Amino acid sequence: MDVHIDSKAVELYSSRAYVVGITGASGSVYGVRLIEVLLKFGITVHIVISNAGWRVIKEELGWNTTNREALLAEKFGSYAGTYRYHPVADIGASIASGSFRVDGMIIMPCSMGTLSSIAHGSSENLMTRAADVMMKESRTLVLVPRETPLHAIHLENMLTLARLGVRMIPAMPAFYFGPKRMDDLINFLVGKVLDSLNIDHRLFTRWGDTGGQQGEQNPHRTN
């Protein structure tokens, strides 16, 4: 990953903590890239991956998921930020309680099944419980749904959550900035999530912005 984060940005954001969930929707690379970028900012990341999410990671990324904790240590253990992995069945984990403080949660990608459970207040596992905590504590919850086509129930569930203040960022990359490789499209979507978290970055070139390069960032840039 060729995303440069300088020391000033790490100082600016290192006190933050987020939960990142990865479900069984296609697009696990989005969630992995988000974790990488947050950790490069020095941010603490609490990771929750559903059973279907692990299967998709294995199939889409080709990772050996037999020893999950060892795999995460290999992939994420060398960044400026720290991470903690929570098994999705561990309903007693710290992030299941509103008294445990984090700045927000992002589920990327978010399956329609998980989105439906959240919309209907179902806390059947740690993923949906943590999302429910974000809503009841009025903290930031960002969902990145990845499904197509969408039927009426999908859309109604999204509308229900949007009316509750949940931020919906569909996995719809743009092309106005002239992407030249798959990484550019991935970084665009991750950058839109960072925008929703008020984290300044240079993951993509903004409309009308001719300064800087993709993959760079300026922690003091005014949008």
Which residue ranges are tagged as binding site for FMN?
24-26, 50, 111-114, 146
**Do 181 and 207 form a contact (C-beta atoms < 8 A)?**
no
Q: How many CB atoms lie within 10 A of CB 109?
A: 26
Sequence-distant (≥ 6) Cβ neighbours of residue 126 within 8 angstroms: 48, 86, 87, 88, 89, 90, 91, 93, 95, 96
Closest CA to 199 of 47, 46, 42: 42
Q: Which residues belong to the annotated binding site?
A: 24-26, 50, 111-114, 146, 176, 192
In which residue are the tokens 């996995």 written?
Answer: 171
The DSSP string of 194-221 is: HHHTT----SSPPTT--SS-TT---TT-
Cα–chain center distance at 4: 19
- Two tokens, residue 58: 């294995």
Q: Which residues belong to the annotated binding site for dimethylallyl phosphate?
A: 176, 192
Question: To 10 degrees, the CA torsion angle through 208, 214, 219, 223?
Answer: 20
